Amino acid sequence: MTKNERKYKKNIKETVEEFLQYTERPTIEDIVDIIRPHYRFTKQQLIERELMKKARYIMRSFKDGNGVRTYFSDDNGTYINVENTNDMNDLQNVNKQLNNKFAGLNGAIKKVLNRITTLAAKIIEK
């Protein structure tokens, strides 16, 4: 991504952030309407994007008998079968990726729980 592309995407994000200041419950359609004029795609790009999305969906659907995913992608889009690989680096990379996602989700859970606590306290005060 070039410097101009990063600046352009930053400006789009700023536009969305400005919209969010005035909207309590935005929909995905609201955000799409804001960014639509800034993106142009060819038919082939859309087809390829949809095929990639479906391929990722299919790979995420492979699970063991306990319902736990078997395949995880690395940073290059290569899938690792964690049940069968003998590559320690692959396993360590998948583990790191999963831990990063866990940390992000855990942070979000804490944020939601803090907000629930705050709102509950306000209700009790009334």
Main-chain phi, psi angles of 82, to 5 degrees: -70, -15
Give the integer Cα–Cα distance in Å for 10 and 26. Answer: 19
- Give the tens place of pLDDT for each residue, 14-43: 999 999 999 989 999 999 999 998 888 899
CA 27 centroid distance within chain: 16
Reduced 3-state DSSP string for 34-84: HHHHHCCCCHHHHHHHHHHHHHHHHHHCCECCCCCECEEECCCCCEEECCC
- Give the tens place of pLDDT for each residue, 42-56: 999 999 999 999 999
Contact between 72 and 82 under an 8 Å Cβ cutoff? The reply is: yes
DSSP reduced 3-state for 27: coil
Contact between 30 and 23 under an 8 Å Cβ cutoff? The reply is: yes
For the full predicted model, state whether its pTM sits above 0.75.
Answer: no
